[in-house]
Amino acid sequence: MTVRMIKLRPQGPDLPERKVRLRLPGRLGAELDTYRELYARTHGQDIDLAVLIEAILAQLLASDRGYQRQRHGGQKTASAPASRQSPVRDAEA
């Protein structure tokens, strides 16, 4: 059996549960549902949506070189060109 490789690795049971309240655009919600299904098929276990979102955000922050440079006192980085910026909308209050 061939296992598909996805970025997110299996999450240990020691991840703290959190109450997450946010509104997602319908398309992003559908993408997260699809990712949860792929995660379950790949790793043989379900993942809670809140845990998935937490893991994705943690991985994004850990892999963002510009953020890591700023966090560790490095040089300022230029913002991405408009064509490369994320289409994520601001959270509603």
* pLDDT tens for the 93 residues of the chain, in order: 556 677 777 766 766 766 768 899 999 999 999 999 999 999 999 999 988 998 999 899 889 888 888 888 876 555 544 444 444 444 443
Q: Is 52:35 a contact under the CB 8 Å cutoff? A: yes
pLDDT of residue 92: 42
pLDDT of residue 8: 74
Please tell me the total number of residues recorded for the chain in this structure. Answer: 93
- Both tokens of 11, joined, read 């999450």
Residue among 62, 65, 57 at smallest CA distance from 88: 57
